[in-house]
Amino acid sequence: MQNGLAMRYTTRVPPTVAVRSPKRVLDLAVPVVSVAAALALWELVTRTGVISPKDLSPMSTSFRALWTMLQTGGFWSAFLDTVRGWALGLGIATALAVPLGIVLGSSEVAARAFRVPIEFLRPIPSAVLIPLLFLTLGTTLRSEIFLASFGAFWPLLVQTMYGVHDVDPIATETARSFKVGRLERLYRVTFPSAVPYIATGLRISSTVALILAFTAELFMGTPGLGQALNLAESYGLNDTMYALAVATGALGLAIHLAFSAVERRALRWHPSQRLAAL
């Protein structure tokens, strides 16, 4: 009988492992293959003359230009300037949006009172503020930070409000029945339920903050990759221009992967992360 149970056990375990391993390999292979295909297509359309190399530098030429720039201090200075504007903008947006979102999500009266201003300001494209920033803050780092903060603020605010609204009412009523105070309910019940929404909002806002920091550098001339790209375009340095675009895209991808990894690790207790790991 023990041999029969052992045979049953050994025949059941390997299929689970066999299902998980190909899935993980596929999850890694699909992005790699898609990126390689996109790069190959980029090279093909320029080398075959579908798009003139004067308008779109070949992929190999752009990457050679990027490799050359990586060995210069000027590139890394511009890179760090962009990271600084992104980090400060996202940090300020987080410091404002998360507490305000918790307050508005916890109070129906406050949510109704601020609904009109939020719905009025949220759809305004952040780039529209650039002329106003020219006249008020000027072409300084403060303008870049304000633009990045403004754009990153709204997704994080809305996600935090939704997270607070999504708290299980049974859990809230149970805490009240045990005479748990308002502040204790906030960090024991409300905040843990809202954390997955806040993490998603942070991931979205991090990308928005980078886009707007780069936009400020591109159009307002604040130091960074955007300013460097604008100068390269002005002098007709197409290879350098596309190399800087690739560098900015790589930075955005690195930010997304970093936030996704932190989210998976910090929320490994959440059902959504456990199901994604299967």
Considering only CA atoms, give the Rg of the chain.
Answer: 24
Q: What is the per-residue pLDDT for 85?
A: 95
Of 109 and 79, more confident: 79
Candidate from 42-46, 70-74, 176-180, 196-200 with smallest mean pLDDT: 176-180
Q: What is the per-residue pLDDT for 157?
A: 93
Q: What is the per-residue pLDDT for 269?
A: 64
Q: Which two structure tokens, joined as six digits, stand for 98?
A: 């998360």
Q: What is the per-residue pLDDT for 223?
A: 93
Q: What is the per-residue pLDDT for 10?
A: 44
Which of 186, 249, 226, 244 is closest to 38 using CA atoms?
249
Asked if the model's pLDDT at residue 3 lies above 60, the reply is no
> For residues 40 and 37, what is the distance between their CA atoms, to the nearest angstrom?
5
Alpha-carbon distance values, 68 to 61, 76, 87, 240, 243 (Å): 11, 12, 26, 10, 10
Asked if the model's pLDDT at residue 17 lies above 50, the reply is no
Asked if the model's pLDDT at residue 177 lies above 90, the reply is no
Candidate from 27-31, 101-105, 150-154, 197-201 with smallest mean pLDDT: 27-31
The answer to pTM > 0.75 is yes
194-223 average pLDDT score: 92
pLDDT band at 16 (very low <50, low <70, confident <90, very high): very low
Collect all residues with Cβ–Cβ distance below 8 Å to 86 and sequence separation of at least 6.
Answer: 148, 206, 209, 210, 213, 255
Q: Write b or e for each residue in 149-185: b if 16 or more Cβ atoms lie within 10 A of its Cβ, otherwise e.
A: bbbbbbbbbbbbbbbbeebeeeeeeebeeeeeeeeeb
Which of 62, 58, 161 is closest to 103 using CA atoms?
161
> For residues 94 and 206, what is the distance between their CA atoms, to the nearest angstrom?
10
